[in-house]
Amino acid sequence: PTNLVPNRDVGFQIFGDLFGETTNYAVGVFNGGADLASVDAADNNNDKDVIGRVFVQPFKNGDSFFKGLGLGVGGSFGHKEGSSVPTYRSPGQASVFSYSATGLVADGTHTRVSPQAYFYKGFFGLLGEYVQSSQELTRGFNIHDTFTNRSWQLSGNYVLTGELASYKGITPRNNFDLAQHAWGAFEIVGRYGQLTLDNKIFDQGFASLNSSVSQENAWGVGLNWYLSKNVKVAVDFEQTAFDRGAAGGLDRP
Task: Give the tens place of pLDDT for each residue, 122-171.
Answer: 999 999 999 999 999 988 777 788 999 999 999 999 999 999 999 988 99
Residues 6+ apart with CB under 8 A from 168: none
Distance CA 151, CA 29 (A): 24
Q: Tell me the average pLDDT across 84-90.
A: 90
pTM: 0.90
Q: Is 1 in contact with 33 (CB distance < 8 Å)?
A: no
pLDDT of residue 105: 87
Strand intervals (E) in the chain: 11-18, 23-30, 49-56, 69-83, 87-89, 95-98, 104-121, 124-139, 143-159, 185-196, 215-228, 231-243
Reference 132, options 117, 104, 110; nearest CA is 110
Q: Tell me the average pLDDT across 29-56.
A: 86
Q: Tell me the average pLDDT across 14-27.
A: 96
